[in-house]
Amino acid sequence: MKQILVLLVVAFGLIACNKTTNEQQAQAPVVRYEWGLPIDSFRIDTCVVKEGETLGGMMNRLGATRQQLTGITLMPRSEFDVRSIRPGKTYYALFQTDTAGIEHLCYYVYKPSIREEIVLHLTDSMHVERFEKPIIHKNRTAEVVIESSLWNAMAGNNLPTELALELSDIYAWTIDFFGLQKGDSIRVHYDEQYVDSTRIGIGRIYAADFYHARRWQEAFWFEDGTIHNYFDAEGNSLRKAFLKAPLNYKRISSGFTYARKHPIYKVVRPHTGVDYAAPMGTPVVSIGDGVVTMKQYKGGGGHTVKIKHNSTYTTAYLHLSKYAKGLAVGKHVKQGEVIGYVGSSGSSTGPHLDFRVWKNGSPIDPLKMQSPPAEPIPAQYKDTFATVVENYRKLLKNE
Q: What are 205-218's pLDDT values in tens digits?
A: 999 999 998 899 99
The reported pLDDT for the residue numbered 97 is 92
CB 176 within 8 A of CB 242: no
The pLDDT of residue 40 is above 80: yes
Q: What is the mean pLDDT of residues 123-127?
A: 85
Selected residue with higher pLDDT from 307 and 267 = 307
- CATH class, domain 33-132, is alpha beta
Per-residue exposure over 50-87, b if at least 16 CB sit within 10 Å of its own CB, e if not: eeeeebeebbeebebeeebeebbeeeeeeebeeeebee
Which letter does DSSP use for residue 250 in this model? S
The pLDDT of residue 22 is above 70: no
Q: Which of 192, 181, 194 is nearest to 150 (CA)?
A: 181
The reported pLDDT for the residue numbered 251 is 63
Q: Provide the percentage of residues in the chain whose pLDDT is more than 70.
A: 87
Q: What is the mean pLDDT of the chain?
A: 85
Q: What is the mean pLDDT of residues 25-42?
A: 81
- CATH class, domain 251-368, is mainly beta
The pLDDT of residue 115 is above 60: yes
The CA-based diameter of the chain, rounded to the nearest angstrom, is 126
The reported pLDDT for the residue numbered 185 is 95
Extents of the domains making up the chain:
33-132, 136-231, 251-368
Give the model confidence (pLDDT) of 305-356 as tens digits: 999 988 788 999 999 999 999 999 999 999 899 999 999 998 877 898 999 9
Selected residue with higher pLDDT from 365 and 22 = 365
Give the model confidence (pLDDT) of 380-396 as tens digits: 999 999 999 999 999 99
Give the model confidence (pLDDT) of 58-98 as tens digits: 999 999 999 998 888 888 888 888 888 899 999 999 999 98
Tell me the pTM: 0.63
Same fold, 33-132 and 136-231: yes
The pLDDT of residue 120 is above 90: yes
Q: Which amino acid is at 63?
A: G
SS3 334: coil
Which residues, in sequence order, are CB contacts of 70 under 8 Å at separation 6+?
Answer: none
- Cα(300)–Cα(295) distance, integer angstroms: 14
CA dist 218 → 89, 114, 180, 211, 233 (Å): 43, 35, 16, 9, 7
Q: Which of 194, 202, 46, 33 is nearest to 115 (CA)?
A: 194
Which residues, in sequence order, are CB contacts of 101 under 8 Å at separation 6+?
Answer: none
What's the pLDDT band for 259 if we cut at 50, 70, 90? Answer: very low
Q: Taking the domain 136-231, which CATH number applies?
A: 3.10.450.350
The pLDDT of residue 24 is above 80: no
Which residues, in sequence order, are CB contacts of 247 under 8 Å at separation 6+?
Answer: 276, 278, 282, 283, 284, 285, 342, 353
Selected residue with higher pLDDT from 43 and 168 = 43
